[in-house]
Amino acid sequence: MAAIVEPAPAKINLALHVRRRRADGYHEIESLFAFLADGDVLTVEEADRDGLAITGPFADALGGEGTNLVATARDAFAAAFGAPPPLAVTLDKRLPVASGIGGGSADAAAMLRVLARRRDIGLDDPKLIACAARIGADVPVCLLGRTAFGAGIGGDLRPVDSVAGVAVLLVNPNVAVSTAAAYAGWDGGDRGPLATGEPIAAARAGRNDLEPAALRLAPQIGSVLDMLAAVPGVTLARMSGSGATCFALFDTAAARSAAAAAIRAARPDWWLLESTLA
């Protein structure tokens, strides 16, 4: 088998409404998911034995193979469909860890896509989607990989109009935020549903209900949001997921690049990614 190079694009929550906490501990949400043109990258090839190597700027932030969601996805696929041949996997970890942009979930979904294609299994196969859901709440939408409205615990998905081509800037103050801690800090108030209709308009009318809890865990998020909201050309600035990564959408790529240059100059210690929505 020739080596397969599979992208694992970053995911952002254009809006995230938390509606209630369920008896099983999960939270019912409504979210508008979108994906970037950039993210982590998997390279997969047949080998004498299974292996996972992690490279890239955020490799040191990840645990070993036994705790990595790529290995979890490989094992979950084997349990559902039968073991694949031994595979050597290299994960180029370009996205920060525990940052609200679905890095680990995107990596797991990329592994599932590779394994499914090798078996001629459709990405809409119910067994594959169930496999993704068992790995994590964001893995099904990362498997789908397109703009979608999500409900339930995130796996009840409805594709919506594409937002491809919109200029976006991600900024993380190099702080990790625990998803569990952010949800635990949610105040329990249901502030209403997410709007339907054109995705960007629905996002601008929405909110991120985890933002107050994340700000208490990582006050630096407030500085990021203030800086993003103040740059010229921004049409929406918000925290993604449980943080600490924030995003800004721009009316032009030039405005995005100018904002990135200004923020890099002011805060060289922050992580930035210039991209577009896919």
- Mean pLDDT, range 29-45, rounded to an integer: 98
pLDDT band at 2 (very low <50, low <70, confident <90, very high): confident
Q: Which of 95, 96, 89, 94 is nearest to 52 (CA)?
A: 89
The token pair at 249 is 């959408």
DSSP letters along 209-237, please? TTHHHHHHH-THHHHHHHHHHHSTTEEEE
Q: Which of 65-69, 165-169, 173-177, 198-202 has the lowest mean pLDDT?
A: 65-69
| Domain pair 4-159 / 167-276, same fold | no
pLDDT tens profile 237-262: 999 999 999 999 999 999 999 999 99
CA distance 18 to 262: 33
pTM comes to 0.95
Kindly tell me if the per-residue pLDDT of 15 is higher than 90: yes
Domain assignments of the chain as residue spans, ordered by start:
4-159, 167-276
pLDDT tens profile 188-242: 999 999 999 999 999 999 999 999 999 999 999 999 999 999 999 999 999 999 9
The token pair at 223 is 């500085």
> Which active-site residues does the annotation give?
11, 138
Considering the domain 167-276, what is its CATH architecture?
Answer: 2-Layer Sandwich (3.30)
pLDDT tens profile 52-69: 999 999 999 886 655 699
Q: Which of 278, 260, 256 is nearest to 268 (CA)?
A: 260
What is the fold of 4-159?
Ribosomal Protein S5; domain 2 (3.30.230)
pLDDT tens profile 107-130: 999 999 999 999 999 999 999 999
pLDDT for the residue 14: 98
